[in-house]
Structure 1
Amino acid sequence: MEVGLHALGIGAGAQRAVIDAVAVAAESCGFATLWSGEHVVMVESGSSRYPYSADGRIAVPAAADWIDPMVGLSFVAAATSTIGIATGVLLLPEHNPVVVAKQAATLDSLSGGRLTLGVGVGWSREEFDALGVPFARRAARTEEYVAAMRTVWREDVASFAGEFVRFDSVRVNPKPVRARTIPIVFGGNSDAALRRVAARGDGWYGFNLDGVADVADRVEFVRARCRESGRDPAGLWLAVALRSPQVDDVARLADLGVDELVVVEAPPADPRLAGTWVSDLADRWLSAADRPSSR
């Protein structure tokens, strides 16, 4: 099992010097992927419930810097040469899908095919309101946007006609590096989110799960939905982040068939400390991942 690091894009992790230092150290130490999430806007107060905490509140202060993940990951890609880069997650229904397809293919091309596009439907009605995007039917919008983006990547001259997006005979270049596609993993831990993974995803990014038992339940659910539709669940790439991970969880996650444990941590504000900070994380987590599982 591989280990990724979700550390960049917010607070100290939004600073150029910290991004460079963490990225270089993470690649050197053997982390598989560097993840960065998104919120276009944060609100001072609102009624929307954050689905990844017990109290329904997001831990990131509204005043914190939170950079655009596609821009931030372009700096990660420029500072490195082999480590994977991933949005975890980009709130796809808040964006024009043709623009996202162009941005993603550009980043994939410039990084040498290292991008995984993690997408989610969003949870903050106030954020959608600020962007002038309907909150209702955002899941259907997301699924259609994914189909449109894959069409743009696959076809030299692309046309698409849907409820939310349509275009006719357009060229969008460059194309992604790997067989004209980019892996799309869906975020979300709910039954509806996992049905989306099974139906349309290349993988799943489960975020802030309570523990290994919670992961086991969600993994079995998505695999059952795959089997119901005649899809081989082994084709799904599974990445998970736990709320309070323990070293002993690594082997248990590997036994479940999880492909990547994503460690969520905030980097030090001083870039001179980044190397030691990443190295300490690697000593803890990569060593555990290298141990044989019972599978």
Structure 2
Amino acid sequence: MVSVGLHALGIGAGASRTVIDAVAAAAERSGFATLWVGEHVVMVDEPASRYPYADDGRIAVPADADWLDPLIALSFAAAATNRIELATGVLLLPEHNPVLLAKQAASLDRLSGGRFSLGVGIGWSREEFDALGVPFERRAQRTAEYVAAMRTLWREDVASFSGEFAAFDRVRVYPKPQRRAVPVVCGGNSDEALRRAATWGDGWYGFNLADVEEVASRVSVLRRMCREVGRDPGELRLSAALQDPAPADLRKFADIGLDELVLVVSPPADPIAAEAWVGELARKWTTRPSARRYMVGRDKP
């Protein structure tokens, strides 16, 4: 059965503390599987960079909208809940220091009781990279190396790593994640993004896909790529957000092998209305209390 997640917090009305508390608690009670929060550090009014998830190449979020840091937003969501999963959808990994991020991710994982998954992307806005002083070129290679470096820090008590973009020697970084690993979910719809998921990801998060057929096509390519690199496709947890999903499609998603459909929605600004809004979504999508998800380092339900 396909579970249903919410990508509703961190932006605009979803950046309010009271709305985060209300939506997170109501989503948990209603059986939603995961709370997803995305990231942009900076926005610009007239970007030259093309947004890859819209036909017109422009992101729908206004440049002056409140956009919380996803790890901080999820820490508040974690404090308001006990069982629902938490995930960045997605964090722009090459814009971060991997040693610091490894500590932040492990801290959130420990404080949430092992509920956190780190969804990552390579980024698309050259203007954002420029503002942060990070090279836009070779960001995919930087991302892969950062993941390897963070996994080393999570796994080993005394960790060393030597790469092109990250290096450290005999360092200790604590706390460790609850299971010495944080699941890393690869975001993106392109063949390159799918290959990253197949090669070193623990899951995949497709975003703003057009319809069931596009989801099926991307999942088929991902499974083929897993086989090409000698991985069992069943090792990956598959999540996707669609442009205009319908509850009747859930059975089709199950047949495809999708694990989670993510609803990208904006809550009301009033916390009482936001709580009722979550309940209406749950009734529409016939959610059920979710079992613990299976990803690397976690037990199957």
Quickly name the TM-score band, shorter chain normalised.
over 0.9
The equivalent of 2:167 in structure 1 is 166
Distance 1:176 1:49 in 2: 36
The equivalent of 2:189 in structure 1 is 189
2:201 is aligned with 1:201:
yes
The equivalent of 1:293 in structure 2 is none
Does structure 2 retain, via aligned residues, the 8 Å contact 1:31–1:286?
no
Alpha-carbon RMSD across the aligned residues, in angstroms, is 1.2
The equivalent of 2:293 in structure 1 is none
2:111 is aligned with 1:110:
yes
Does structure 2 retain, via aligned residues, the 8 Å contact 1:151–1:158?
yes
2:267 is aligned with 1:267:
yes
Distance 1:19 1:119 in 2: 22
| C-alpha deviation, 1:46, in angstroms | 1.6
| C-alpha deviation, 1:286, in angstroms | 2.9
SS at match of 1:248: helix
Deviation readout 1:93-151 (Å, 9 max, x if unpaired): 00100111000000000000000100000000000000000000000000000000000
Paired letter, 2:232: D
228-237 or 126-135, which deviates more: 228-237
SS at match of 1:3: strand
The equivalent of 2:125 in structure 1 is 124
Distance 1:204 1:28 in 2: 26
Does structure 2 retain, via aligned residues, the 8 Å contact 1:205–1:240?
yes
Distance 2:185 2:196 in 1: 10
Does structure 2 retain, via aligned residues, the 8 Å contact 1:3–1:289?
no
Distance 1:149 1:229 in 2: 22
Does structure 2 retain, via aligned residues, the 8 Å contact 1:3–1:286?
no
SS at match of 1:223: helix
| C-alpha deviation, 1:187, in angstroms | 0.3
The equivalent of 1:4 in structure 2 is 5
SS at match of 1:44: coil
Does structure 1 retain, via aligned residues, the 8 Å contact 2:203–2:237?
yes
Structure 1's unaligned 5+ residue stretches are 291-295
The equivalent of 2:80 in structure 1 is 79
SS at match of 2:247: coil
The equivalent of 2:91 in structure 1 is 90
Distance 2:254 2:7 in 1: 19
Structure 1 runs of 4+ aligned residues shifted over 6 Å read none
Distance 2:272 2:218 in 1: 39
| C-alpha deviation, 1:44, in angstroms | 1.0
Structure 2's unaligned 5+ residue stretches are 291-301
Distance 2:202 2:185 in 1: 5
Percent identity between matched residues is 68
Does structure 1 retain, via aligned residues, the 8 Å contact 2:32–2:288?
no
The equivalent of 2:216 in structure 1 is 216
C-alpha change, 1:287 and 1:150, in structure 2 (3 Å) is: closer
The equivalent of 2:234 in structure 1 is 234
Does structure 2 retain, via aligned residues, the 8 Å contact 1:226–1:233?
yes
2:30 is aligned with 1:29:
yes
280-289 or 23-32, which deviates more: 280-289
Paired letter, 1:7: A
2:40 is aligned with 1:44:
no
| C-alpha deviation, 1:228, in angstroms | 1.1
The equivalent of 1:244 in structure 2 is 244
SS at match of 1:28: helix
Does structure 2 retain, via aligned residues, the 8 Å contact 1:11–1:65?
yes
| C-alpha deviation, 1:36, in angstroms | 0.3
| C-alpha deviation, 1:271, in angstroms | 0.6
C-alpha change, 1:217 and 1:170, in structure 2 (3 Å) is: same
Does structure 1 retain, via aligned residues, the 8 Å contact 2:52–2:124?
yes
Paired letter, 1:52: Y
Paired letter, 2:250: V
C-alpha change, 1:289 and 1:228, in structure 2 (3 Å) is: farther
C-alpha change, 1:177 and 1:288, in structure 2 (3 Å) is: closer
The equivalent of 2:298 in structure 1 is none
